[in-house]
């Protein structure tokens, strides 16, 4: 079953974004591929979730600050991404924002970390749009702050630029897409459909890692709650979204079981590229 269309209030945005991004794609194609170093891309980590499912085991801190091998998960994520040459990070924070902000303002890392605070829960797209004022590069690598999947970030950014995509989504295969909903892509990697959660079967799922053009973020409505997964992506299936296959596995620390698995596996995995 195909995913439902975005709510009516977002349809105009989706159509306008498609129109603008098709024009941008054509313009970039006429001027040739842009050459960009990985370090010219900003990184946005979405840390605004409430983490309600995890509070039975991590009740004193926001989910991205959950301990993995003696360090907050989001610190491990920043360190891992920085090993690819990316050195400018923006954390979009909401629930217990002060704890995250205080930790990174203490200057514990050799990379620049800035904080964008949500005044209310804004969802993944709303949090990304709320971070826009801090994004300086023309391209942004965007990640969920509660999951990890091994991705060659440099190769993903390069693929995104080479194909002049509006946004690129890392996709990982799974034997059971029922828990997540799946993504359908053409042979050339262009995304053609988002499917609702269904009863069993394999497929490609969203790995929670994206590359966006800054102009795409500009086109998102500001100051309203908005979900990338539910409100934005399902309305953009005309070929302006690119899939980037990765092998996985996908780790989600948002549940007690997922967190336990991450505690066991991730300290070693995230210490290397």
199 vs 176: CA distance, rounded Å: 9
264 and 270 Cβ atoms separated by less than 8 Å:
no
Peptide bond into 249 cis (omega under 30): yes
Q: Residue 258: exposed, middle, or buried by beta-carbon count in 10 A (0-12, 13-18, 19+)?
A: middle
Longest dimension (CA), the chain: 54
Q: Which two tokens stand for residue 19?
A: 């129109």
Is position 63 annotated as part of the catalytic site? no
171 vs 128: CA distance, rounded Å: 20
User: How would you label 148-183 residue by residue, b for 16+ Cβ within 10 Å and e otherwise?
Assistant: bbbbebbebbebbbebbbbbbbbbbbbeebeebbbb
2 and 194 Cβ atoms separated by less than 8 Å:
yes
Q: Which two tokens stand for residue 119?
A: 């005044």
23 vs 19: CA distance, rounded Å: 6
**CA nearest to 92, candidates 131, 138, 38:** 131
Which of 37, 197, 198, 273 does the annotation list as catalytic? 197
Where in the sequence numbering do the catalytic residues fall? 197
């Amino acid at each position: 079953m195909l995913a439902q269309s975005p709510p009516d209030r977002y349809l105009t945005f989706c159509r306008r974004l498609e129109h603008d991004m098709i024009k941008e794609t054509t313009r970039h194609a006429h001027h040739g591929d842009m050459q960009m170093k990985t370090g010219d891309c900003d990184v946005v980590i979405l840390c605004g979730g409430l983490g309600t499912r995890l509070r039975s085991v991590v009740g004193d801190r926001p989910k991205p600050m959950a301990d993995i091998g003696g360090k907050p998960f989001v610190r491990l994520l920043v360190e891992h991404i920085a090993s690819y040459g990316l050195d400018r990070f923006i954390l979009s924070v909401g629930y217990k924002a002060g704890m995250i902000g205080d930790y990174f303002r203490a200057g514990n890392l050799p990379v620049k970390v800035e904080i964008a605070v949500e005044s209310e829960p804004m969802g993944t797209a709303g949090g990304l749009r709320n971070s826009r004022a801090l994004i300086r590069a023309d391209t942004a690598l965007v990640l969920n702050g509660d999951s990890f999947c091994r991705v060659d970030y440099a190769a993903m950014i390069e693929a995104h630029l080479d194909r002049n995509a509006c946004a690129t989504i890392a996709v990982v295969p799974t034997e059971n897409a029922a828990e997540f909903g799946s993504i359908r892509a053409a042979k050339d990697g262009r995304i053609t459909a988002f499917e609702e959660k269904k009863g069993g079967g394999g497929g490609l799922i969203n790995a929670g890692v994206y590359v966006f053009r800054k102009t795409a973020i500009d086109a998102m409505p500001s100051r309203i709650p908005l979900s990338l997964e539910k409100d934005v992506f399902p309305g953009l299936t005309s070929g302006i979204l690119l899939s980037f296959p990765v092998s996985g596995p996908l780790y989600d620390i948002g549940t007690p079981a997922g967190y336990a698995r991450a505690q066991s596996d991730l300290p070693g995995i995230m210490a290397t590229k």
